[in-house]
Chains A and B, each alone.
Chain A
Amino acid sequence: MSGLRPLHLRPNVKWSLTMKTLCFAAGCLAIATPALAETPVLDVLTYDSFVSEWGPGPAIEKAFEAECGCDLRFTPAGDGAALLARLQLEGARTEADVVLGLDTNLTAAARETGLFAPHGQTPDLSLPVPFTDADFLPYDWGWFAFVHGKSLTAPGDFKALAASDLKIVIQDPRSSTPGLGLLMWVKAAYGDQAAQIWADLADNIVTVTPGWSEAYGMFLEGEADMVLSYTTSPAYHLIAEQDDSKAAAVFAEGNYLQVEVMGKLAASDQPELADRFLAFMLSDAAQSVLPVTNWMYPAHVPAEGLPKGFETLAQPVKSLLLSADEAEALRGPALDEWRAALAR
């Protein structure tokens, strides 16, 4: 900016003063909240929708700060994939103590950065598959599924979907985590035949969007019969909008899981606080917030159970999940296969 200043028709001093005043007024320049000198600060790097006022962030911040005597500070960084890129950009100099919001398709790359420390906890998890990871702890999870209107008779598997003339919207695996999840789903279910499934699906795919929101928005506007989302998506419509017209399709091959994880950074200057936060995220206080803010299943079902409405959701018969290393190894080849099959 300084280079452009000479062009201004007015003296620069006035410019920068006005700017400062205005920023302050608009509350736009987020200088650190003036915490007391002794209050320790825990920095958590997470994805954007976690910290939004409709996400779990505000409630979790309030509950944790009430018991930790600390200042919990979230830094939003786009979505899950952007989060990893952000961490890689910052490297060992990162100020973050905890990273929250990667999924298992990204944990191998995250581990490879060497920035994470083992969490050392043995939580009681209620995931539909056994899950152990020395560095990453799950905090919520969901089954990927094609969401549709209840008036539609949903196909029972990928082959039936491909044979039908139903139109679907999916997300691009090169720019979004659900898109990557679908890629892994087809690969986990069909292995070497995955390319054929994609080729058969090609005429069902209306379009491939950069992220989840665009796809879901297009589905709600009637541009497609089904959209790649989660089995928990109908819960949002039911609980928040009292609309029970949406359902999610259970596939006979199994539905692939998205497990959202968090990890502690080795270079954290607040390791004990970070440990407390990880444990807190799996406590009832945090776990009861997640289903109706993040619209996912809690990693550990709280004592009061799942919120009312979740019992109406479709229950997949089989859960698919590739290990972090398998997912990392398969990503490149599966992507080439996907691109070749669809780019006709």
Chain B
Amino acid sequence: MARRAGTLTALALAFVTLAPVAVVMVQAGGRGLTAPDWAALRFTLLQAALSALASVGCAVPLARALARRRFAGRGALITALGAPFLLPVIVAVLGLLAVFGRAGVVNATLRGLGLPEVSIFGLGGVVLAHVFLNMPLATRMLLQGWQAIPAERLRLAESLGFTPREVWRHLERPMLRAVLPGALLAVFAICLTSFAVVLILGGGPAATTVELAIWQAIRFEFDLPRAATLAVMQVLACGGAVGLAGLVARAPGFGAGLDRLHPLPAPPGWRRGLDAAVLALATLFLAAPLLAVLQRGLPGLLSLPASIWPAAAASALVACLAAPLAVGGALALALGRAQGVRWLEPVAMLPMAGSQLVLGTGLFLIAFPLVTPARLSLPVTVLVTAVMSLPFAYRILAPAAQALVADYGRLAAALDLRGGAALRLLVLPRLRRPLGFALGLCAALAAGDLGVVALFATETGVTLPLAISRLMGAYRMDQAAGAALVLVALAFGLFWIGDRWGRGGTEA
């Protein structure tokens, strides 16, 4: 049942992602790839790989400290980890610049101390921004892994008198082996298609990504086949990473537990100091730009145009429609994959590497002969945001679904537990936490995504990100900063509702 649902979803997803690329590919014209395109591909892969390693590398000690320590504000910190990922890109960049930029806090301090200034622009700045945006997401994904270690193993470790080193060897390392490749892959894929961050902080044409080459091909050269070729290259790069992650990942084989709560061992001594330092540094690194965004946006809140509110309602609507669609699809794929349909995994990751511009252009070419594109504004926005956020939901659900099938699959089969009953009695209760997290995340992503809406835009159906971009385009930077705060609040509120439901009273 789950296998069939998974297969159907995968076929639909592959169609929605690949058909637009194919349609764009077969258009007339095309002069093939040029030397700058290859340079762009090299730089894209380099920055994405470095960003993934740095983000996940920083996330491991942070997630571990969060998993094994209890302190005031811990729950708030975990919730706040959702925030950077949800910021509109330009807002996040301006927040980072307020801290690390020329007129930022760091350089002001350095100047005050008579030290040379640092420049955020260049490869280092690109990686820094990607760590700011993605480390929190990676931390949340790893934290789920720590929390999924059954209490029985922790009690066993305790009664055997495991040292922290032995806990690492027998519990944490196998868990990371299952979760890390997925987290690396997710961040790599996000950074692969990152466009504005790389361009703004890259400092010049040397920092060019494939996505920019796609923009240029479609907008200035109208060379659609070239754009499609570039999009396929992006997908292939992501496919390679999926394959690599699949080779490395291993199920931890902890077996089922009884869902009792048991704290992770919290070793005293220098490890305690280290965890405290990690938590303090990470909080500072993440909070400083966020506070700058807050400070920048607050004055603008007072002068917001009334049109912001319908736009916010439109964004919320898109989010509420797209998130269940994405999570439902991801659940079917994750359960199908857990039951052994291996090819579902790369298909689930497909949209992450897809170019939004090519996807939008392809959908436009498919829809245009049949219906006025503006009429499809809402359905297309919902569909595309659902498709684009599905891989995130899949990555969150996959490890838990794997454990569910391994631990309860045989029991369910023996009881002939299937269909709606299985969903209600087994899947929903056992996957509630990752489902809630995924729902919240997808809703927030959908609210914040400008995406392909541009081609299907109408005079009236304005979403909040589009309203912000219009404010900025009309010199109204203060109001745009205020509106961005509304967007962050909306995205964060949606995220909080889903996540809260998932954590449903249990200890986070």
| Pair A52/B474 contact, Cβ less than 8 Å | yes
List, in ascending order, chain B residues with CB within 8 A of A9's CB: 328, 423
Q: A48-B470, A75-B459 are in contact. List 6 more A-B contacts (CB 8 A).
A: A75-B374, A76-B459, A205-B203, A207-B201, A221-B98, A343-B205
> Given known contacts A75-B459, A221-B101, is B212 in contact with A175 (CB within 8 Å)?
yes
| Pair B455/A3 contact, Cβ less than 8 Å | no
Query: Closest CB-CB distance, B305 to chain A, in whole Å?
Result: 7
Cβ of A159 within 8 Å of any chain B Cβ, yes or no, is no
Cβ of B163 within 8 Å of any chain A Cβ, yes or no, is no
Q: Mark A53-92, 1 if CB is under 8 A from B, else 0.
A: 1110000000000000000011111100110111011100
> Given known contacts A29-B375, A76-B459, A84-B219, is B203 in contact with A207 (CB within 8 Å)?
yes
Residues of chain B from 368 to 403 with CB closer than 8 A to chain A in the complex: 368-369, 372, 374-375, 377-379, 382-383, 386
Cβ of B472 within 8 Å of any chain A Cβ, yes or no, is yes
Query: Closest CB-CB distance, B309 to chain A, in whole Å?
Result: 11
| Pair A48/B473 contact, Cβ less than 8 Å | yes
> Given known contacts A81-B219, A208-B204, A217-B472, is B199 in contact with A172 (CB within 8 Å)?
yes
Partner of A342, one of B195, B206, B455, B474: B206
Query: Closest CB-CB distance, B128 to chain A, in whole Å?
Result: 14
| Pair A7/B375 contact, Cβ less than 8 Å | no
Inter-chain CB contacts under 8 Å: number: 220
List, in ascending order, chain B residues with CB within 8 A of A51's CB: 459
> Given known contacts A210-B199, A210-B212, A221-B94, is B475 in contact with A3 (CB within 8 Å)?
no
Cβ of A276 within 8 Å of any chain B Cβ, yes or no, is no
| Pair B11/A202 contact, Cβ less than 8 Å | no
Report how far A344 CA is from B206 CA in the complex, Å: 7
List, in ascending order, chain B residues with CB within 8 A of A32's CB: 372
Report how far A53 CA is from B195 CA in the complex, Å: 28
| Pair A4/B94 contact, Cβ less than 8 Å | no
> Given known contacts A78-B454, A89-B361, A223-B102, is B13 in contact with A4 (CB within 8 Å)?
yes
| Pair B310/A7 contact, Cβ less than 8 Å | no
Cβ of B477 within 8 Å of any chain A Cβ, yes or no, is yes
Which of B53-61, B63-71, B244-252, B317-325 is the interface stretch?
Answer: B317-325
List, in ascending order, chain A residues with CB within 8 A of B454's CB: 48, 77-78, 82
| Pair B470/A27 contact, Cβ less than 8 Å | no
> Given known contacts A52-B474, A89-B365, A217-B94, is B218 in contact with A206 (CB within 8 Å)?
no
Cβ of B469 within 8 Å of any chain A Cβ, yes or no, is yes
Query: Closest CB-CB distance, B235 to chain A, in whole Å?
Result: 19
Cβ of A95 within 8 Å of any chain B Cβ, yes or no, is yes
Report how far A343 CA is from B208 CA in the complex, Å: 9
Cβ of A121 within 8 Å of any chain B Cβ, yes or no, is no
Cβ of B421 within 8 Å of any chain A Cβ, yes or no, is no
| Pair A8/B374 contact, Cβ less than 8 Å | no
Report how far A208 CA is from B46 CA in the complex, Å: 20
A73 nearest in chain B by CB position: B459
| Pair A221/B321 contact, Cβ less than 8 Å | no
Cβ of A143 within 8 Å of any chain B Cβ, yes or no, is no
> Given known contacts A76-B459, A207-B200, A223-B102, is B13 in contact with A213 (CB within 8 Å)?
no
List, in ascending order, chain B residues with CB within 8 A of A167's CB: 102
Cβ of B254 within 8 Å of any chain A Cβ, yes or no, is no
Residues of chain B from 444 to 487 with CB closer than 8 A to chain A in the complex: 454-455, 457-461, 466, 469-477, 480
**Could you list 13 A-B pairs, sorted by A, with CB under 8 Å?**
A4-B386, A7-B9, A23-B317, A23-B378, A29-B461, A49-B470, A52-B470, A73-B459, A88-B222, A202-B204, A222-B102, A240-B475, A338-B205
Cβ of A31 within 8 Å of any chain B Cβ, yes or no, is yes
CB-based closest 4 A-B pairs: A3-B12, A222-B103, A30-B458, A213-B472
Cβ of B283 within 8 Å of any chain A Cβ, yes or no, is no
Partner of A221, one of B103, B457, B460: B103
Query: Closest CB-CB distance, B257 to chain A, in whole Å?
Result: 27
| Pair B204/A343 contact, Cβ less than 8 Å | yes
List, in ascending order, chain B residues with CB within 8 A of A55's CB: 470, 474
Residues of chain B from 414 to 450 with CB closer than 8 A to chain A in the complex: 423
With a 10 A CB-CB cut-off, give which of B222, B368, B476 has the most chain A CB atoms.
Answer: B222
B365 nearest in chain A by CB position: A89
| Pair A174/B310 contact, Cβ less than 8 Å | no
Cβ of B215 within 8 Å of any chain A Cβ, yes or no, is yes
List, in ascending order, chain B residues with CB within 8 A of A4's CB: 9, 12-13, 325, 328-329, 386
Cβ of B307 within 8 Å of any chain A Cβ, yes or no, is yes
Residues of chain A from 207 to 258 with CB closer than 8 A to chain B in the complex: 207-210, 212-214, 216-218, 220-224, 233, 236-237, 240
| Pair A26/B219 contact, Cβ less than 8 Å | no
Partner of B15, one of A3, A31, A213: A3
| Pair B204/A212 contact, Cβ less than 8 Å | no
List, in ascending order, chain A residues with CB within 8 A of B178's CB: none
Query: Closest CB-CB distance, A130 to chain B, in whole Å?
Result: 27
| Pair A30/B461 contact, Cβ less than 8 Å | yes
List, in ascending order, chain B residues with CB within 8 A of A146's CB: none
Cβ of B313 within 8 Å of any chain A Cβ, yes or no, is yes
| Pair A206/B314 contact, Cβ less than 8 Å | no
A87 nearest in chain B by CB position: B222
Residues of chain A from 20 to 56 with CB closer than 8 A to chain B in the complex: 22-23, 26-32, 48-49, 51-55
